[in-house]
Amino acid sequence: MDSGVLLPTGAAQWVPGDDPRDLVGFARAAEQAGFASLWVNDSLISPRIEALTMLAALAPATERVALGTAALLPFLRRPVQAAQSLASIDLLSGGRLVVTVGAGFPGRFGRPFYDLSEVPWERRFLRLDETVALWRALWDGASSFHGKLLSLDDLPPATRPFRKGGPPIWLGGFTPGAFARAGRLYDGWLPYPPDPADYAAGLRAVLDAAGGRPVTPALFVTVRVDRDVATGRRVLDDYARASYGMPLSDLERIQAVVTGTAAEVRMALDRYAAAGARHVVLRLGGLDLRDQREQLERVAGAL
pLDDT computed for residue 56 by the predictor: 98
Average pLDDT of the residues in 19-35: 98
The Cα–Cα gap between 226 and 179 comes to 34
pLDDT computed for residue 44 by the predictor: 82
Domains identified in the chain, total number: 1
Enclosing domain of residue 27: 2-302
φ, ψ of residue 118 in degrees (nearest 5): 60, 40
pLDDT averaged over the chain?
Answer: 96
pLDDT computed for residue 111 by the predictor: 84
pLDDT at 226 > cutoff 80: yes
What pTM, to 2 d.p., does this model score? 0.97
pLDDT at 69 > cutoff 80: yes
The Cα–Cα gap between 254 and 273 comes to 19
Query: For 88-118, how does the pLDDT look when each residue is reduced to its tens digit (9 = 90+)?
Result: 999 999 999 999 999 987 766 678 889 889 9
- The two beta strands, 151-152 and 145-146, are antiparallel
pLDDT computed for residue 270 by the predictor: 98
Bridge partners (DSSP) of residue 10 are: 48
pLDDT computed for residue 139 by the predictor: 98
Q: Would you say 197 and 171 are in contact if contact means Cβ atoms under 8 Å apart?
A: no
Number of helices (H) and strands (E) in the chain: give both, helices first.
11, 11
The Cα–Cα gap between 245 and 182 comes to 30
Task: Name the residue among 261, 243, 182 with its Cα closest to residue 214.
Answer: 182
The Cα–Cα gap between 114 and 298 comes to 38
Cβ-based burial of 108 (10 A; exposed 0-12, middle 13-18, buried ≥19): exposed
pLDDT at 182 > cutoff 90: yes
CATH assignment of the domain containing 98:
3.20.20.30
pLDDT computed for residue 46 by the predictor: 82
pLDDT computed for residue 45 by the predictor: 78
pLDDT at 51 > cutoff 90: yes
